[in-house]
Amino acid sequence: MEKSFIFAGFGGQGMLLIGKFMAMSCMLDGKHVSWLPSYGPEMRGGTANCSVIVSDDPVASPLVDVADVVVAMNRPSLDKFEPCVKPGGVLVINSSIIDRKAERDDIQVVYCDANGIADAVGNPKGANVAILGAVMGKVDVTSVESMTEAIRIELGEKKLRFLEGNMKALEAGMAAV
């Protein structure tokens, strides 16, 4: 099994973080993983994306040109990365702020109201984790238990107070698909 992911959005939307969550979760499951960030010089407000590869075998290269799953958190990311979804792959679109539909008909498309879900569970900054939940609800790659532990590890002791809100957003995102 090998799955490749691209998480893309503006800097500050937490795309690099949810990529780390996915990589750590799958690593806890005993998989081989890679996580490769890419961001513009401005960071917050500029474009930011990362690629994650999860495999039963060692990952030879962290580069992802064509992914099994693409998450587009904003319109520029959708425009840039929609062509990068493998035929038959999954495109998850943040329908809260993206004003267009997918143009391809050879992929599975999930429209996730990530910002609305995050607001509904009382975690307005959790849109990234809500869309990660939508990915988990659509693609069987890791367990909720492993993801919970991964989020706990990545948040660290200083930010552990955010774990509960993130778990609510994750579960609501999963339920939305």
Percent of the chain with pLDDT over 70: 96
Domains and CATH numbers, the chain: 2-176 (3.40.920.10)
109-127 per-position pLDDT tens digit: 999 999 999 999 999 999 9
The DSSP secondary structure of 98-161, one letter per residue, reads --S----SSSEEEEE-HHHHHHHTT-TT-HHHHHHHHHHHHS-SS-HHHHHHHHHHHHTGGGGG
Burial class, 150, CB count within 10 angstroms (exposed 0-12 / middle 13-18 / buried 19+): buried
pLDDT higher than 60, residue 44: no
- pTM reported for the whole predicted model: 0.93
pLDDT higher than 60, residue 42: no
Instruction: Give residue 161's pLDDT.
Output: 84
pLDDT higher than 70, residue 40: no
DSSP-derived secondary structure letter, 65: S
Instruction: Give residue 23's pLDDT.
Output: 98
